[in-house]
Each structure stands twice: as structure tokens, then as C-alpha cells.
Amino acid sequence: MKTIATTGRIAAVEKTGERGFAVETTFVLFFLAVECGQSMSVLALDTFVLALTLAAFIVLPYFLPAEDKPDFGRWVLGRSLIAALGVGLGMMYKQTLGVVLPEMLRYLPMTLLIVTAMLSCYIQFYGLLKIRLAK
């Protein structure tokens, strides 16, 4: 947050740089992609729903309120690459369960997804509800 002094009053202006835009939703996207890659075994309805959720999570956070937004095409391309990396890592993670990693770590990606989603919700609601000083 950057404060700017204006004629006797202080105005609070939220600056989100190109690298700081929607960082918390990027972590949620990554862990969702890992979970999607881990559960991707056959083409079934639940896999389709998970892939649709992943596609929505690639595009929709762009429309969250922010002052400075990057170019939409580059932003979607970057998030698509992060999702592809997460799906690939999820597939590799599934192959290592029971061989390299113990079987009880099967639910670790979902646990991390839940924790990051809760933190992301908290950050988004805080950003929407925080008190902003008048300009």
C-alpha cells in the first residue's frame, strides 16, 4: 500500500504491480492443478468438472478488483503454464505414491489446496472490506 499526501489529507492508494496481481489465487491455481493431475486417471464426469473448474480459475481471477492489471493475453498464458506445470507435477506425484513417498501423503495436495484457498479468501475479503481513507 502506498500513501500519498494530498492537501492536508492522506489518501490510501492500493498499488498492485504486474508481479503482485492475484498472487494468492496463483497458489490456489497451482494446488488445484496438482490435484487435477493426481486424480486424472480416466475421462469421467468428475475429471471434466475438475478441468472446467481449473479453466475457470485460470480466467476469472483477472476480473477481481485491482488498480493496475497486466495484459489479459499474457496473464492467461502465464496462468495456463502454471496450470500445465501443476497438472504434470500432479501426475508425477501420483506415480511416486507407494513407491517413493508413503501412501499416507496421498491427500497432501488437497490439504494444501484447502489451506491456500482459505488464505486467498481471507486476503480477497480483506482487500474488499478494508477501510480506505478519503482522497
Q: Where are the beta strands (DSSP E) in the chain?
A: 2-6, 9-13
- Domain for residue 76, yes or no? yes
CA distance 11 to 130: 14
In contact, 98 and 23? CB cutoff 8 Å: no
- Domain for residue 8, yes or no? yes
Whole-number pLDDT of residue 70: 85
In contact, 86 and 33? CB cutoff 8 Å: yes
- DSSP conformational letter for 5: E
Whole-number pLDDT of residue 117: 92
- Domain for residue 87, yes or no? yes
Domain span holding position 73: 2-129
- Domain for residue 92, yes or no? yes
- Domain for residue 47, yes or no? yes
pTM, two decimals, is 0.75
- Domain for residue 101, yes or no? yes
Whole-number pLDDT of residue 21: 63
31-75 tens-digit pLDDT: 999 998 988 877 778 888 888 999 999 999 888 777 778 889 999
Q: How many whole angstroms from its chain centre is CA 132? A: 25
Whole-number pLDDT of residue 7: 46
The angle, 0 to 180 degrees and rounded to 10, between the axes of the packed helices 23-39 and 72-96 is: 40
Q: Return the bridge partners of 9, or none.
A: 6
- Domain for residue 134, yes or no? no
Statement: residue 93 has pLDDT above 50: yes
- Domain for residue 135, yes or no? no
Per-residue pLDDT band for 83 (boundaries 50, 70, 90) equals: very high
- For the chain, what is the domain count? 1
CA distance 47 to 45: 5
